[in-house]
Structure 1
Amino acid sequence: MSQPSHDIVAIGNAIVDVIARADDGFIAQEGLAKGSMQLLFTTEEAEALYAKMGAGLEASGGSAANTVAGLAALGRKCGFIGQVAPDQLGAVFAHDIRAQGVSFTTEVRAEAEPPTARCLILVTPDGQRTMNTFLGASQFLPAAALDEALIADAAILYLEGYLWDPEEPRAAMRKAIAIARGAGRKVAFTLSDTFCISRHRADFVKLIEDGDIDILFANEAEITALTELDDFEAAVAKASASVPLLVVTRSEKGAIAIKDGARFAAPAEPIDTVVDTTGAGDLFAAGFLAGQAEGRSVEDSLTMGAICAAEIISHYGARPEADLKELVTKRFG
């Protein structure tokens, strides 16, 4: 097996985030489920909600894209595969992710409709984010668009559950798993949201039981939904029996990992004020995977994840504002 040229290559939704403040009254008025994610199925729906939002911050995003941006900020070599349209937001996304030092070779979709994906994120005063996602062009990522050489040359292929919903990228991710497996690489998967599990639980369980997932990321709600067990410890025990490395985030309670039956834990990093939880899980995954790429212990990798997550929730947006490498160096030297 050849030495990989990239640490991680991710496949996910290529989305531009639009983040704005909102109060609980606005969330209720629009009939949104606070703190969760819902899909907007038409351009018209997306434009209608956008028109009602207050002034916001616009930046390239998407769950897996946020993770590789964090990994790149930590000095790891990464790639990203995702579909954009030939429009202004598509150009913004491509420029931003390449500016982060991430390899982005996916060809721009030829058709202008649907347009590039966007996620309208409403942040309430308690820091909770309610995401309204229009998948646009990202949900038409075809298997033919995969950079097979890039996937085969990455130590870890990282997949986001959000992209499992549309049929075309689901087929692309199945092909990517086969490519990574054929090259002797590892596959990491994040469950993303209970919404995804409710729609595709059988698929996710089969991927795990078939041995296609080496590293599984989840939060408390997701792991209980996946296992259909209300008790957290029972859910962790069930899931960890079928995957080599299970990582579960627990918000202010920190995070745990189960590797080959051994349990590890790290506390959450102290923070004065939670401003915006957008991207917390994405950047936790970045810190953890960076730690693993550096050959650190599971416990230290959990701590790196907690450091990155704490930085993200201290400000608006899902991309780091502080120097993540410096924050990690202060802790570990």
Structure 2
Amino acid sequence: MTQPSLDVIAIGNAIIDVIANCEDSLIEELGLARGGMMLIDDEQASSLYEAMGPAREISGGSAANTLAGLAQLGAKCGFIGQVAQDQLGDVFTHDIRAGGIHFDVPAREGNPPTARCLIFVTPDGQRTMNTFLGASHYLPAEALDEALIADAAVLYLEGYLWDPEEPRAAMRKAIAAARAAGRKVAFTPSETFVIDRHRADFLDLIDAGQIDVLFCNEHEMAALTGEADFEAGIAALAPRIPVLVVTRSADGAVAVANGVRSQVAAEPIDKVVDTTGAGDLFAAGFLFGHVRGKPVEDCLRMGAICASEIISHYGARAEASLKDLVGTRMG
């Protein structure tokens, strides 16, 4: 097997995050699921945008956020996702390329427009996300560069994109290309509502040995396993996957790699400002250590450090140097 030229290549939604502060009362007034993520249509996106206060526009998307963190740490990365030929598509393309990430999927003509996620942040830092997937729903399998996928040590897949048929077919094709090249596949189911719709698919991938590293939070693990108890969930899922990584917010994270369990505490932080992207950046830190053959506990610690940076400010792209932060805290 040849040495890969990329550390991680990811397939995910190409999204612009639109982030605004709000009071808890607005979440209730709008009938939103506080702290959750729901899919919305173009009309809902327009009405929610009108209800928002002053907002910040930041490139986002779960897998793209992970790659941005990885690139900051020094990894070589590539992204596969779909934008439209519009202003937000240009912003996303500029931002991801400016981060040193390879991205060459052509922008799509016409409607729907580039995806956006409207994020309401309450005073406790909790984020309520409302996502219009737009053009990202239309990533065709033909957009895949299979040679590039085969040339990456890890293929990372975002569960949010499993819902629509076209990108789901693209992701299955990408898994086949990665496995044929002897590369690893990492996967995150992304959210419990995604698991509710595609639990059988995800478990089939796991049990068929198609996934090498699975990232989920404790709620997603419960949805996957049907086990409300954390330890029962670990016992049910860990034997089925080479590396299981489960985040627990303020309670840190646990990993079970080939039957060996490791865990770390959450990194201390003065104030949680916005939890958007915490899981994405945790995955970035963990994968950075993983592709470099670091011990699992070190990978977990790197993930916790990256997540702590993200929740200290608005948005899911790091403002401090993750490379310096990890270097300093890891000693």
TM norm. shorter chain > 0.5: yes
Residue identity opposite 2:118 in structure 1: L
TM-superposed deviation, 1:140: 0.6
Structure 2 counterpart of 1:24: 24
TM-superposed deviation, 1:89: 0.3
Residue identity opposite 2:320 in structure 1: A
Structure 2 counterpart of 1:122: 120
TM-superposed deviation, 1:294: 2.1
TM-score w.r.t. length of structure 2: 0.99
Q: Does 2:95 correspond to 1:96?
A: yes
Secondary structure of the residue that 2:174 maps to in structure 1? helix
Structure 2 counterpart of 1:208: 206
TM-superposed deviation, 1:292: 1.0
TM-score w.r.t. length of structure 1: 0.98
Residue identity opposite 1:130 in structure 2: T
Structure 2 counterpart of 1:66: 65
How do residues 195-274 of structure 1 correspond to structure 2 at under 5 angstroms? 195-274=193-272
Residue identity opposite 1:3 in structure 2: Q
Structure 2 counterpart of 1:10: 10
**What's the CA shift string for 1:198-250, capped at 9, x where partnerless?**
11101001000010000000001000110011111011111111100000001
Residue identity opposite 2:106 in structure 1: E
How do residues 49-60 of structure 1 correspond to structure 2 at under 5 angstroms? 49-60=48-59
Secondary structure of the residue that 2:153 maps to in structure 1? strand
TM-superposed deviation, 1:135: 0.1
Secondary structure of the residue that 2:45 maps to in structure 1? helix
Give, in whole Å, the separation in 2 of the partners of 1:317 and 1:190. Answer: 20
Give, in whole Å, the separation in 2 of the partners of 1:126 and 1:38. Answer: 20
TM-superposed deviation, 1:5: 0.4
Runs of 4 or more above 3 Å deviation: none
Q: Percent identity?
A: 69
**What's the CA shift string for 1:12-48, capped at 9, x where partnerless?**
000000000011110011110000000012x222111
Residue identity opposite 2:48 in structure 1: L
Give, in whole Å, the separation in 2 of the partners of 1:294 and 1:73. Answer: 15
Give, in whole Å, the separation in 1 of the partners of 2:194 and 2:165. Answer: 13
Q: CA RMSD in A?
A: 0.7
TM-superposed deviation, 1:332: 2.5
Give, in whole Å, the separation in 2 of the partners of 1:112 and 1:55. Answer: 28
Structure 2 counterpart of 1:84: 83
Q: 1:179 aligns with which of 166, 177, 181?
A: 177
TM-superposed deviation, 1:107: 1.3
Q: 1:142 aligns with which of 127, 133, 140?
A: 140
Q: Does 2:301 correspond to 1:303?
A: yes
**What's the CA shift string for 1:95-151, capped at 9, x where partnerless?**
000000000011111x22000000000000111100000000001101001121211
Secondary structure of the residue that 1:103 maps to in structure 2? coil
The answer to whether the 8 Å contact 1:106/1:147 transfers is no
The answer to whether the 8 Å contact 1:105/1:147 transfers is no
Residue identity opposite 1:25 in structure 2: S
Secondary structure of the residue that 1:13 maps to in structure 2? coil
Structure 1: where are the runs of 5+ without partners? Answer: none
Residue identity opposite 1:82 in structure 2: G
Give, in whole Å, the separation in 1 of the partners of 2:22 and 2:147. Answer: 44
Structure 2 counterpart of 1:156: 154
Secondary structure of the residue that 1:18 maps to in structure 2? strand
Structure 1 counterpart of 2:35: 35
